[in-house]
Amino acid sequence: MGQTRRAFLQRTVGTLLTAATTVWGQEKEAKRKMEWKLGLQSYSLRTMPFDKAVATVKELGLTYLEAFPGHLPMERAEEAKKILQQHGVKLIAYGVVGMSNNEAAMRRLFDFAKAMGIEVLTADPAPDSFDLLDKLVEEYGIYVAIHNHGPGSRYPGVDSVVKAIQGHHERIGLCYDTGHGARAGDNIVEAVHKIGKRIYGVHLKDVNEQKRDVVIGTGILDIRGFVKALKEVGFKGAFMLEYELEPQNPVPGIQKSLDFVRKVLAEVG
């Protein structure tokens, strides 16, 4: 009788522990699936004024925004804060901005970013700026993500950025533009593994066989494989969809692209 009772208790405890572990695992997986951040690079809406662009971001069901300087000059910070707050949109990245070894100018940029709550400055830094940037990213706690801009640019693809950041602060890394990366000859999945954890932002695009931008999901890029690779390296940044087509009427193409990207993010988890 005692042995039977003991066995029953052991089975019961084992069942409860298994159930608890299963629930915990499901909750952990659900939480992991909610970690992806999806937003828009405001250059996609470059023909709109900033207030209309922010309103459109919200209408698209997005919370996160990367503003390009043409939309948001630094002297308009207070006005921009009110617009963002009004629409419930969070500005987490800003760029693409040039970076030099002029400390006064760079401090103005970093002060602006800090005041706006910007986490990542998407940048095209001059080679002689890195020692200064090492100091500023440590002091301000802000990431500098070098933007690859395709053939003919200072940083065409992933390899040029990997080389540039060697020996520099871990907060200096990559904002990977998939379209420009493809045009530079990158395999976008392999690019993620080359840069590893130092990928701090994404400008998400798709291209056709001629390497011209198309609606995301209709081109040749392995977007699913790219997202899976980001998951493998522990990416914590944001996917900023950047749609450069149809500047006078970009919203339909943006919406189609978002539909595809949301599906992929849900599938990859």
Domain CATH number, residue 53: 3.20.20.150
DSSP class of 128 = G
63 band by pLDDT with thresholds 50, 70 and 90: very high
122 band by pLDDT with thresholds 50, 70 and 90: very high
Please write the tens of the pLDDT for every residue from 176-229. Answer: 999 999 999 999 999 999 999 999 999 999 999 999 999 999 999 999 999 999
Assigned domain for 89 exists: yes
Assigned domain for 201 exists: yes
DSSP 99-113: E-S-HHHHHHHHHHH
With H, G, I as helix, E, B as strand and everything else as coil, classify residue 88. coil
Gap between the Cα atoms of 53 and 63, Å rounded: 13
Assigned domain for 10 exists: no
31 band by pLDDT with thresholds 50, 70 and 90: very low
Gap between the Cα atoms of 192 and 72, Å rounded: 30
Residue 140: which of 160, 113, 172, 164 has the closest Cα?
Answer: 113
Structure tokens that stand for 216 in this block: 């995301």
**Residue type, position 171, single letter:** R
Taking a C-beta distance cutoff of 8 angstroms, is the pair 78, 105 a contact? no
The predicted pLDDT at position 151 comes to 98
Please write the tens of the pLDDT for every residue from 134-175. Answer: 999 999 999 999 999 999 999 999 999 999 999 999 999 999
Assigned domain for 230 exists: yes
High-pLDDT (> 90) share of the chain, %:
87
Assigned domain for 20 exists: no
Taking a C-beta distance cutoff of 8 angstroms, is the pair 97, 124 a contact? yes
The predicted pLDDT at position 109 comes to 99
Gap between the Cα atoms of 225 and 196, Å rounded: 15
The predicted pLDDT at position 20 comes to 44
The predicted pLDDT at position 6 comes to 52
Assigned domain for 26 exists: no
Average pLDDT, the chain: 92
Look at 1-10, 39-48, 57-66, 248-257 and tell me which has the smallest mean pLDDT. Answer: 1-10
Residue carrying the six token digits 């599938």:
267
- State the Rg of the chain over Cα: 22
Assigned domain for 206 exists: yes
Residue 222: which of 251, 174, 260 has the closest Cα?
Answer: 260
Please say if the pLDDT value at position 18 is more than 80. Answer: no
Total tally of structural domains belonging to the chain: 1
Q: Which residues pair with 145 in a beta bridge?
A: 122, 173
Q: Is the pTM of this model over 0.85?
A: yes
Range of the domain at 200: 37-268
Assigned domain for 66 exists: yes
For range 224-237, the mean pLDDT: 98
The secondary element (H helix, E strand) that includes residue 171 is none
